[in-house]
A = this chain, B = another copy of it.
């Protein structure tokens, strides 16, 4: 663990516990460096993490301030939470595999996944529920070569768990696009939507640390059950 991450964790903890209170100024850089036994650049890296998380604001010439915000909502807007762990609590996830086949990529998919048209890919459709409640319909495309021997049993549990822990692949980033469109019969059946009611779709392209595209995935939600949070920080 890098020192600057350690320091960020410690300072984040002090903000959450109220030791550095909302709206007030943090000790300035030099004092923090002495307290945490590090160099100025290292402290800047640590504090920049908290800036990106939306917890603090730094102003040249003025100081570093804890942001006025409802803390509980804004802690840990980390990558992991945004991805596989978003749906948590003590709820049980069940997955009904609707479709599991290998098809050649058409023009559209080839472009999205940056592969050749005709390359073989898995086409997977799963209806996923939380404690028996319909939650998300996931349409997933994965190049065959990424996961050569995928079994249907894996799909019934966690595909991500298999890819991360069994195949030891690591995710680098996701490109996400959120839109909405009128439901088709398939969504209406699963979510109990009325004709004309839309679903919300999260389109996601997932990259591995190798730079390859792992999957192109469309996650469709009942409009009333979807939520997405993010923090945009200027420059």
Contact = CB atoms under 8 A, between A and B. Distances in A.
Contact residue range for chain A?
35 or more
Nearest to A70: B111
Contacts of A69: 114, 175, 205
Contact of A226 (B179, B207, B227): B179
B172 A233 contact: yes
B223 A198 contact: yes
Copies per complex of this chain: 2
Contacts of A179: 226-227
A35 B67 CA distance: 40
Contacts of A231: 173-176
Interface of A: 22-23, 41, 54, 57, 59, 65, 67-70, 74, 79, 82-83, 111-112, 114, 170-182, 194, 196-198, 200, 205, 207, 209-213, 223-224, 226-235
